[in-house]
Structure 1
Amino acid sequence: MKLPGLLAVILFVCTNRRSSGLFHPKPACRYPPSQWCRSLEIAISCNVQKQCMEVNAIRPNQTVPPVSVTLYYESLCPDCRVFITQQLFPTWTMLQDIMAVTLVPYGNAKEIPSANSPFTCQHGEPECIGNMIEACILHLTGHSAFQIIYCMESATDVLDAAQPCLQLYAPSVSWSSVNSCLKGDLGLQLIHANAAMTRALNPHHTHVPWVTFNGEYTENEEKTMSSLFHLVCQLYKGVKPPACTGAPVRLNRSFC
């Protein structure tokens, strides 16, 4: 789920005093800002290739594996929503070049032998629907998924926010495709896979949010829940990026 981060967003809105006039994407650009640096073709069509090259130039050495952060959670769990919106997403926004996030919506749900409702969820049927919607979004949207789920989890109503959040961050993915996943066999298969991943945890999860780093659970949950940014910086084995060290980043621009 590699996406341009906060720095890239700032670059895109900024102007370059040495360039002629203000920077604006070409009218042919039909991609949201989160995708502008996804490929050279998109960067050219949106007239941001120079900015994307500058962002890529300061990224850490990609030969060092990123810190793998996996969150096992429930879509309507209040503590999960706080962790996603106040810790995980902000940390990923700043450190996405040295961390890889995997989201597993299932949590404390249970599979039951029933044709009508094969799953029960801690916060009722709406949470089962929310879990499946987010599983479908993760499957269908790929690189945009985390932004969509953050958008949902930070909204007043998670389920009502699903469609507008999808349209905002992945306009090329139709809501009908998510709805088909939700009502068809694919959604059940995705949740069943999440159930299997959750049951396979060692040690077994006792609550959510439950976070593993590079596949391992740490008992220092207080640091995970309150200082995730510093923990990811600490776990990364390569040269620390400027965000971790507090070092200033100098780019060829002077004001916004």
Structure 2
Amino acid sequence: MLSKFLSLLAWAGLYRVGLEILNAEAPFPRGSVTPSEAVDWTSRFMQQLVDGWVSQDGRQVAYSALEQSPFYTRNFPEFRSFLLSVDPARMQEAERKTFFINVYNLLTIDAILRMDSLPRSTLSVTQFWRRYGYQVGPYKLHLDDIEHGILRGNRAHPTSGDVMFASDDPRRVLTLPADHRIHSVLNCGAASCPPLDSYFASDLDQTLDTSMANLCRDGVTSINKSTIIISSIFEWFRSDFGATEQDALRFLATCADDPARSAALNAAADGKRRYTYYYDWSLNNGTVADRVKVSVYFESMCSDSIRFFKNQLYPVWQELRDIIDLEFIPFGKARATPTGTGDYEFQCQHGPVECYGNRVMSCAQNSLPIGTQVEFFQCMMTKPSPAFSGMECSEEVGIAWAPLQECAESVKGAAMLYTNGVRTASLRPWVNFIPTITINGIYDKRRLSVSLRALKSQICASYEGPPHQNCL
């Protein structure tokens, strides 16, 4: 009861808890990035999260699966460190808006996962929006700072009435002109929040227009003879849509995509129709339990592996990525011999060149999120010499080559490749063809034959979740 009472006081801005900076202990990164590079890096990072752990409609996050993934345990610490080197004050207006929209959504997810257990809702967490923050360059910023101080032009908080940045606050330099469209892209971790996506500066205005149109459409969930049910976003932030509540209703009427809906909303603004507001605060928690586990055992120089990547895996990934739990095991028919010094010697089916390519891919497999792995491996496997295309493909995909090269030429990379060899050797039945593909851990000669020529049908047949539009 006390916790609930404190949460209500916190929501009204009448109770404050200590601010927890989630990257307070992160090491300062080496090197520097330009403002444009920082914005693009953050957008691509968010895209990787969306591709791997967000439902196709953007409404649910597979929090438990994300928390246990290498992307969260390895890549999120890198992101937290990266933020320390960013100076958002140097960004252009569109860049800063893009950057902080993505950072807000990433911080929300990070904060939820830093709790001991998943909350029923973010509203049930005392002072959630002022409790968790990031250090971004020289600025400490919590969620309310980002939303109300920066993206809403330092307008008053809708419930407490206070502003985030006082006149002498150095963070005022970050404040952007208010843009009502940001309410269509900020996700607060609730079922009624706008869908999660990644945003890029190059097309931000067009994307915001589309997102706002979707919020106008989805923000009126029911119209019947007695009552119109409207998203509470248009109640809390009515001042961002008009001077009065009636103005906000008329704004919603102008952007509605249905004449009957517009007429009903205009009638509500004129006091001729009843209306009420509603918001589902339950956590937008989803699951990847229904995803199909696809494991690909392959070699970097194998012509059959190259053909499979080009004709099956990559195009199927484009269509079904949201229902595939994909993993790569580069090793194939190689042999590994421990040297007794912690290193290993490898003999590969297509010679030493292939062994090097396998090592590069093993390092990528253990350091990159799966969406980036797919793009990187697809690039390598479509080059004339896949094993030696790592540098070229890292540039094309937008990742750093030096760490992968260092790993591939080290004992660490050899150990990663050896581990892949152990996994390959443990398959039953024994591997006699590369690539070998297992679906939910199972394969045999017939299933493998189908996967090699019709992977999509194999995955769709194994999928037990809700009907997928690309499996119909």
For normalisation by structure 2, the TM-score amounts to 0.41
- Asked if residue 148 in structure 1 is aligned to residue 376 in structure 2, the reply is yes
Letter in 2 for 1:96: R
Corresponding residue for 2:429? 203
- Asked if residue 225 in structure 1 is aligned to residue 235 in structure 2, the reply is no
Letter in 2 for 1:132: R
The correspondence for 2:307, drawn from 71, 75, 82, is 82
Tell me, yes or no, if the aligned pair for 1:233 and 1:240 is still in contact at 8 Å. no
Corresponding residue for 1:29? 39
- Asked if residue 68 in structure 1 is aligned to residue 78 in structure 2, the reply is no
| Cα distance, 1:244 vs structure 2 | 1.1
- Asked if residue 190 in structure 1 is aligned to residue 407 in structure 2, the reply is no
| Cα distance, 1:129 vs structure 2 | 0.3
Corresponding residue for 1:19? none
Letter in 1 for 2:413: G
Letter in 2 for 1:198: T
The alpha-carbon distance between structure 1 residues 117 and 189, as it changes in their structure 2 partners (threshold 3 A), is closer
Cα distance in 2 for partners of 1:237, 1:166 equals 36
Letter in 1 for 2:432: T
Corresponding residue for 2:461? 234
Q: Point out where structure 2 has 5 or more consecutive residues left out of the alignment.
A: 1-34, 51-101, 107-197, 219-285
Corresponding residue for 2:391? 163
Cα distance in 1 for partners of 2:46, 2:330 equals 28
Aligned residues: 213
| Cα distance, 1:108 vs structure 2 | 0.2
| Cα distance, 1:94 vs structure 2 | 0.7
| Cα distance, 1:210 vs structure 2 | 0.8
The alpha-carbon distance between structure 1 residues 32 and 205, as it changes in their structure 2 partners (threshold 3 A), is farther
Cα distance in 1 for partners of 2:211, 2:368 equals 22
1:111 partner SS: strand
The correspondence for 1:93, drawn from 318, 325, 328, is 318
Letter in 1 for 2:454: S
| Cα distance, 1:193 vs structure 2 | 0.6
Corresponding residue for 1:252? none
Letter in 2 for 1:157: S
Cα distance in 2 for partners of 1:52, 1:209 equals 42
Tell me, yes or no, if the aligned pair for 1:69 and 1:212 is still in contact at 8 Å. yes
Cα distance in 2 for partners of 1:240, 1:164 equals 39
CA deviation profile, 1:141-181 (whole Å, cap 9, x unmatched): 2231111001100111213321121122243xx22211110
The alpha-carbon distance between structure 1 residues 188 and 95, as it changes in their structure 2 partners (threshold 3 A), is same
2:297 partner SS: strand
- Asked if residue 104 in structure 1 is aligned to residue 300 in structure 2, the reply is no
The alpha-carbon distance between structure 1 residues 114 and 64, as it changes in their structure 2 partners (threshold 3 A), is closer
2:369 partner SS: helix
The alpha-carbon distance between structure 1 residues 51 and 193, as it changes in their structure 2 partners (threshold 3 A), is farther
Cα distance in 2 for partners of 1:50, 1:29 equals 20
Cα distance in 2 for partners of 1:190, 1:63 equals 26
Segment drifting more, 40-49 vs 203-212: 40-49
Q: Point out where structure 1 has 5 or more consecutive residues left out of the alignment.
A: 1-25, 246-256
The alpha-carbon distance between structure 1 residues 94 and 236, as it changes in their structure 2 partners (threshold 3 A), is same
Letter in 1 for 2:39: C
Corresponding residue for 1:253? none
Tell me, yes or no, if the aligned pair for 1:112 and 1:118 is still in contact at 8 Å. yes
Cα distance in 2 for partners of 1:227, 1:179 equals 34
Give aligned-pair identity as a percent: 24
Corresponding residue for 2:403? 177
1:149 partner SS: helix
| Cα distance, 1:137 vs structure 2 | 1.3
Tell me, yes or no, if the aligned pair for 1:106 and 1:131 is still in contact at 8 Å. yes
Larger Rg: 2
Task: Give me the CA root mean square deviation.
Answer: 2.8
| Cα distance, 1:239 vs structure 2 | 1.6
Corresponding residue for 2:261? none
Cα distance in 2 for partners of 1:94, 1:227 equals 13
Identify the structure with bigger relative contact order (alpha carbons < 8 Å, sequence gap 6+). Answer: 1
| Cα distance, 1:111 vs structure 2 | 1.1
Moved over 6 A (4+): 49-54
Tell me, yes or no, if the aligned pair for 2:293 and 2:441 is still in contact at 8 Å. yes
Letter in 2 for 1:197: R
| Cα distance, 1:45 vs structure 2 | 6.0
Letter in 1 for 2:327: T
